[in-house]
């Protein structure tokens, strides 16, 4: 069955799935949710009225929630890069880190972004300050966690890194990762150099003016 992904190149959660697809050179059609292709938006909303993207279509099977989508890709379209380890306990560590990046990094970024867009009950300044406090706690924990690791969960690139790449990318734009976190800064740089994520970042570059907090002139 052919795969189709509904999403947007600048969206962090779309990028999380794009990284998984690019890692294994999995063929798929990208259906961009934008003003030029209203038919994709209509189909996405028909299929997922909860209005969250990305959404993956595999024939008539549809999947939402990026962690589930990537688990599905590992099961139904596996490639040379195993995104979930075969060992069940090692896979649990990977799932934990995936949750960490979504809940303790990306959610904080989202709070700052939503506040800036007036989609949250906090002012832009309050949202950014709260996000900064949360991100500081996450950065400190990650700095300790990353000691001795090449990738988020150890020696291999996994689902955890698919989640880490866009979340740390945008987190650093929201609340810069300070010099006191050298391992975390180096990990973010390694993620940016990984061809799968480098490609996603390039494809999203034209949309940088959309970042409501102002995109810095780097990366």
Ligand X SMILES: N[C@@H](CCC(=O)N[C@@H](CS)C(=O)NCC(=O)O)C(=O)O
- Of 154, 131, 140, the closest CA to residue 184 belongs to 140
Does a cis peptide bond (omega within 30 degrees of 0) precede residue 46? no
* Contact between 12 and 105 (Cβ < 8 Å): no
Shortest approach of ligand X to residue 90 CB, angstroms?
Answer: 22
* Contact between 56 and 120 (Cβ < 8 Å): no
Would you say 17 or 177 has its CB closer to ligand X? Answer: 17
* Contact between 107 and 130 (Cβ < 8 Å): no
Shortest approach of ligand X to residue 132 CB, angstroms?
Answer: 20
> Interface residues with ligand X (CB under 6 A)?
11-13, 51-53, 65-66
Shortest approach of ligand X to residue 106 CB, angstroms?
Answer: 8
Would you say 101 or 181 has its CB closer to ligand X? Answer: 101
Which two tokens mark 78?
């596996």
Would you say 102 or 143 has its CB closer to ligand X? Answer: 102
Question: How many angstroms separate the CA atoms of 215 and 74, rounded?
Answer: 33
Shortest approach of ligand X to residue 187 CB, angstroms?
Answer: 21
């Amino acid at each position: 069955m052919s795969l189709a992904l509904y999403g947007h190149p600048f969206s962090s959660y779309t990028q999380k799935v794009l990284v998984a697809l690019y890692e294994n050179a999995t063929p798929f059609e990208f259906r961009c949710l934008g003003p030029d292709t209203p038919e994709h938006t209509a189909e996405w909303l028909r299929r997922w009225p909860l209005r969250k993207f990305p959404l993956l279509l595999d024939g008539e099977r549809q999947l939402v929630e990026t962690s589930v989508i990537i688990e599905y890709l590992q099961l139904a379209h596996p490639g040379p890069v195993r995104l979930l380890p075969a060992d069940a306990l090692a896979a649990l560590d990977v799932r934990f880190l995936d949750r960490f990046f979504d809940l303790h990094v990306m959610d904080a970024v989202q709070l700052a972004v939503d506040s800036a867009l007036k989609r949250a009950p906090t002012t832009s300044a309050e949202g950014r300050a709260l996000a900064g406090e949360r991100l500081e706690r996450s950065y400190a924990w990650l700095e300790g966690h990353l000691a001795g690791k090449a990738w988020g969960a150890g020696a291999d690139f996994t689902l955890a890194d698919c989640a880490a790449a866009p979340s740390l990318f945008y987190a650093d734009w929201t609340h810069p990762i300070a010099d006191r976190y050298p391992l975390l800064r180096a990990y973010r740089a390694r993620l940016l150099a990984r061809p799968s994520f480098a490609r996603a970042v390039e494809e999203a570059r034209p949309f940088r003016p959309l970042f409501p907090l102002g995109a810095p002139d780097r990366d």
